[in-house]
Structure 1
């Protein structure tokens, strides 16, 4: 088959033509402002900012802050409403209750705080960033409260939580814009002790004869003796302090730990369901220690995981401190991640009750 010169050149051009992709802008002059592009892509956002960075307030104080709305365009709304809610949430888990109690599951929450306030009537929010201040008294002396204001606490079965929620209503065709933030409640100054409490010091002895659980035969026959003292009644903002001394031990010590425990009890019908859980562990010594040498005990209490001891009707929150001595043993190597709450053959322990209180002398917001 013969091709003339024109056909041959046309065929070569088609084979040599590359693939092209062209991007066409909406504006013929191709001129854009960077800020305008960012605003067009920015979704509408709402945020609740409290006046205090630590979010700690007292019941008699106003909860203050501002509602921050960021939007690319103006927004029409049917009102801005704010709600404050506080409750004691009680939950019975299967591991801490019997078969019958497990059917109850979540116990009805105890309402502490429930109030709402209209921040703004219906109107329009302009484009850009808008800040709307608010101030709401948590507890009014003229109001009848359903419950006392317990301090914020997050436990295993008991949670005491306070939430602030804001809603911008936009009608049936649009979802409301909402934001939520947790604030922390501490006791009122009027309810605090004026003077710091004197620490209640308890002297403890840990020997093979004081153990209520089985221990290794070599520990039983060889013997050991650890003595010490520790404070069992402390202010919330003070560290748990004390000291201990290893006077004698036939077997080398592996470690000495201080376990901070919480004891949560819930009244369920005619039965009290109690669960003990570990809050934190502080190591006092790692490895064998010199005999007759005093070791300091210094434990900082975590804020959200502890609260003043509560002995209420439907529930209670208490605390304990456990001094645990772990001895070197081949058996312990087979269980490196054993539950510290469970006594083991290679451990010796002493558990003491711990009462936590809040005093004005150590109040973090006393000068607010």
Structure 2
């Protein structure tokens, strides 16, 4: 039976804010008494940046210069070299959630080309005849919710064959007219994205209407910038010969970790957009794009 090492936090949701203290327990279970060369715990935060493969050829110098950005680093000695008895041993610990000098703790975020992560790493050092035992646990850093009133910005929109961007020839697109409202393009991540739309006219029946949340990730440095848009989630709000004259609600919850507050720095940006996609029965696809700002 191998040594079992685990990190248990007193806060079940694992969500922390800058200035707080992480409290928890390092749990070690061993089948027999073991000798160790010390037990330590580190708390790390970093931004990992990557360049998409389609941009590597264009940004060779940029690709080679992108390095993780260290946001937080704190080391804690849990136990001096000695022995652990057989059975379960639990050791309490406390660690501060604070950034390195001149650094900012950005919100936890899992993207495609940008990842903001915070990790607890426990280590049991063994002698040269035995392998070290390691365990990592991710915790979540969030900005404190705003206490002031969030300014809303209602967006009333019209979608038809004449409003579509990046379309040179509209003759092949069915004639249609859709009106709608987005409650606010300045969105609280704690509340759902809401609105409604109504099909007033369509020459061809509409097969489906989808609401798509898109991340826009920009990585950059002195050598250049790489910008990529990727889908986070897609929600179908109507299907099958959608009736005209009926208000269709738009309702979407922002997913945890895959979305965060809109972030803009000198080296990277994390921004978001919402697409409303309409598919006609003849398989024509039209999309209207709405840039949004997410705040907490």
* TM superposition score normalised by structure 2: 0.94
- Are residues 1:322 and 2:275 paired? yes
* Local SS of the residue matching 1:108: coil
More strand by share: 2
Q: Quote the offset at 1:218 in angstroms.
A: 5.2
1:270-305 deviations in whole A, cap 9, x for unaligned? 422100000000111011222111010000110110
Kept in 2, the 8 Å contact 1:264–1:274? The answer is yes
Q: Which residue of 2 aligns with 1:236?
A: 189
The 3-state SS of whatever aligns with 1:105 is helix
Q: 2:96 — aligned with what?
A: 137
Identify which range, 271-280 or 51-60, moves more after superposition.
51-60
Q: For 2:4 and 2:277, how far apart are their aligned partners in 1?
A: 50
Alignment of 1:71-90 (within 5 A): 71-90=30-49
Query: Within the alignment, does 1:175 sit opposite 2:115 as a pair?
Result: no
Residue 136 of structure 1 and its aligned partner are, at CA, apart by: 0.5
1: CA distance between counterparts of 2:40 and 2:172?
69
Structure 1 position 249 matched with structure 2 position 195: no
User: What residue in structure 1 maps to residue 83 of structure 2?
Assistant: 124
Classify 1:284/1:291 alpha carbon distance in 2 versus 1 (closer, same or farther; 3 Å): same
- Please give the alpha-carbon distance, in whole angstroms, between the structure 1 residues aligned to 2:225 and 2:291: 19
Cα deviation, residue 78, structure 1: 1.8
Task: Indicate if the aligned counterparts of 1:79 and 1:123 stay in contact, CA closer than 8 A.
Answer: yes
Q: How do residues 320-359 of structure 1 correspond to structure 2 at under 5 angstroms?
A: 320-329=273-282, 332=283, 346-358=284-296
Equivalence for 1:266: 219
Residue 291 of structure 1 is matched in structure 2 by: 244
Q: In the comparison of the two structures, how many residue pairs are matched?
A: 293
Change (3 A) 1:43 1:278: same
Displacement of 1:54 after TM fit? 1.7
Q: Does residue 1:109 correspond to 2:65, yes or no? A: no
> Which residue in 1 is equivalent to 2:22?
63
Query: Which piece of structure 1 moves more, 270-279 or 249-258?
Result: 270-279
Q: Which has the higher contact order (CA 8 A, sep 6+)?
A: 2
Question: In proportion to residue count, which structure has more helix?
Answer: 1
Preserved CA contact (<8 Å) 1:245 1:293? yes
Q: 1:51 Cα shift?
A: 1.6
Aligned to 2:178: 226
Superposed CA offset, 1:110-146 (max 9, x none)? 1101121101112221111111111111218xxx524
Q: Is the contact made by 1:219 and 1:251 (CA closer than 8 Å) also made in structure 2?
A: no
Q: Which of 14, 36, 58 is residue 100 of structure 1 equivalent to?
A: 58
Q: Report if the CA contact (8 A) 2:59-2:224 is conserved.
A: no
- What is the CA–CA distance in structure 1 between the aligned matches of 2:118 and 2:295, rounded to whole Å? 20
Q: Does 1:210 align with 2:169?
A: no
Larger Rg: 1
Corresponding position of 1:156:
112
Q: Deviations over 1:303-358 (max 9, x none)?
A: 110000001111111000011111011xx3xxxxxxxxxxxxx1222101110001
> What residue ranges of structure 1 are gaps of 5+ in the alignment?
1-41, 333-345, 359-368
Q: What is the rounded CA distance, in whole Å, between the counterparts of 1:215 and 1:252 in structure 2?
A: 21
Q: Secondary structure at the match of 2:126?
A: coil
